[in-house]
Every structure is written in structure tokens, then in C-alpha cells.
């Protein structure tokens, strides 16, 4: 009986003991983390946006530490060399195959652009030849656009008669200088695919 009474008194003391001021603590809210860097990986290449220098990496491509695709070193190069008649900027149908091939090449490498360089033979005034060379380059530009190439990917440069391929004063030399050439800008070769268990081993 005494043990039961002592136990009751102890329990009563524990649950009714006054709370001391030293036992009270101010509520501290959970701190909110401020994310400074963009930790997402929009193009899913394994490199977060904050470090990714190439934000539109092709899927399944092999990448470097900056998140940029690597390219296969290749000798493939697309060239355009179109000749024109005397005092003419009209595209001869015999060169349409070159234009179509260039358009297909540019479609396969959407990050590239093309610079069309117009030339003229050294007959007539320099000012007239400069304008004629630009007209020739614009003629090829129109042909590329009609084959699906965006005008934003094409630039025009007219050289007139200031950069000759042939220096003779005969008709053959003049014919070789009446032309449009092209330079593809930004072409690095084919994109290397990342290795997977499904890659074929070259034999």
C-alpha cells in the first residue's frame, strides 16, 4: 500500500512539475535552400545546364566535358563551283544537280551556314563587274532557297574581277572567271555517337 502511494506521488510530481523558463525554446523555421545554379539537364546529355556550353546536343552523341558533341574527323567536304555565261547571272540547268546536292548536305548539317562568293571576268568596268558578281551569287541563293535552305543560313559576297582564277585574256580564261563558289561555315564532320552495347564493331 505504501509502495503504491509513493509511486502515485512521484508520477503526480513529474506530470505537474512547473516548466522552467530555461526549458522553453524559440521555434526556428526550416531554412529555404536558394538554388543558384541550374541543376537541370534539358538536353539529357549528362551535363547540367549551368555547365553546358552546347544546349542542343543531339541525342545519343558522344560529348566532352562542356556538354558539346564530338565529331568524326572526315575528309568529306561539299564544294560548289558554278559557271555563268558572258554578262549573265542566269543559272544554267546543267548546274542544278550541284545546287540540290548542296541543299541536301546543308539539311544533314543544320548547324552550318553557307557563304556564296560571286566572281566576274576582267571585261567591262570594275563597278559593273562587282554588281554582276553579286547578282550571280544571289542567283544561287535563290536556287538554294527553292530547295529548302533557309535564307538565314546564306550570305553573299561579291568579288567582281578582283580575284581571278585564270589570268589569260582569251575566252576560256574569261569563262573560268565567271562563276560562283561556296564555303560551308561551321562544318566539323559527322557527330560521334556515344558507345553502347548495341554499337557494331567495325571488321
CATH of the domain at 106: 3.30.1330.60
CA gap 199, 203 in Å, rounded: 12
The total domain count for the chain is 1
Query: For residues 24 and 40, is the Cβ–Cβ distance under 8 A?
Result: no
Residue 156's domain comprises: 81-185
| Phi, psi (rounded to 5 degrees) for 139 | -65, -40
Evaluate whether residue 40 is within a structural domain: no
Question: Is residue 203, in this structure, part of any structural domain at all?
Answer: no
Q: Is 61 helix (H, G, I), strand (E, B) or coil?
A: strand
Cell of 52: 553546358
pLDDT surpassing 70 at residue 188: no
In a domain, 10, yes or no: no
Give domain status of residue 56, yes or no. Answer: no
Please determine, for residue 201, whether its predicted confidence score (pLDDT) is greater than 70: no
What pLDDT shows up at residue 111? Answer: 78
- Cell for 8? 502515485
Pinpoint the alpha helices (H) of 24-179. Answer: 96-108, 126-146, 171-177
Q: Tell me if 70 sits within 8 A of 92, measured CB to CB.
A: no
Is 151 part of a structural domain of the chain?
Answer: yes
Check: pTM over 0.85? Answer yes or no.
no
H or E element, residue 7: helix 2-16
pLDDT, tens digit (0-9, with 9 covering 90-100), for 13-57: 444 545 555 567 778 888 777 766 677 777 777 777 777 777 776
Whether the predicted pLDDT of 202 surpasses 50: no
Amino acid at each position: 500500500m505504501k509502495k503504491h502511494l509513493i509511486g502515485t506521488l512521484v508520477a503526480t510530481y513529474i506530470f505537474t512539475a512547473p516548466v522552467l523558463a530555461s526549458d522553453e525554446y524559440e521555434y526556428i523555421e526550416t531554412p529555404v535552400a536558394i538554388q543558384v545554379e541550374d541543376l537541370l539537364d534539358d538536353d539529357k546529355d549528362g551535363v547540367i545546364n549551368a555547365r553546358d556550353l552546347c544546349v542542343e546536343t543531339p541525342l545519343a552523341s558522344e560529348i566532352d566535358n562542356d556538354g558539346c558533341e564530338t565529331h568524326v574527323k572526315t575528309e568529306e567536304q561539299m564544294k560548289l563551283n558554278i559557271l555563268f555565261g558572258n554578262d549573265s547571272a542566269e543559272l544554267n540547268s546543267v548546274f542544278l544537280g550541284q545546287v540540290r546536292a548542296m541543299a541536301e548536305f546543308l539539311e544533314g548539317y543544320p548547324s552550318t551556314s553557307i557563304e556564296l562568293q560571286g566572281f566576274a571576268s576582267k571585261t567591262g568596268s570594275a563597278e559593273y563587274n562587282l554588281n554582276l558578281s553579286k547578282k550571280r551569287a544571289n542567283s544561287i541563293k535563290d536556287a538554294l532557297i527553292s530547295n529548302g535552305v533557309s535564307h538565314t543560313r546564306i550570305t553573299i559576297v561579291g568579288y567582281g574581277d578582283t580575284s581571278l582564277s585564270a589570268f589569260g585574256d582569251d575566252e576560256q580564261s574569261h569563262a573560268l572567271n565567271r562563276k560562283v563558289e561556296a564555303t560551308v561555315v561551321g562544318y566539323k564532320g559527322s557527330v560521334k555517337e556515344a558507345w553502347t552495347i548495341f554499337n557494331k564493331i567495325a571488321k
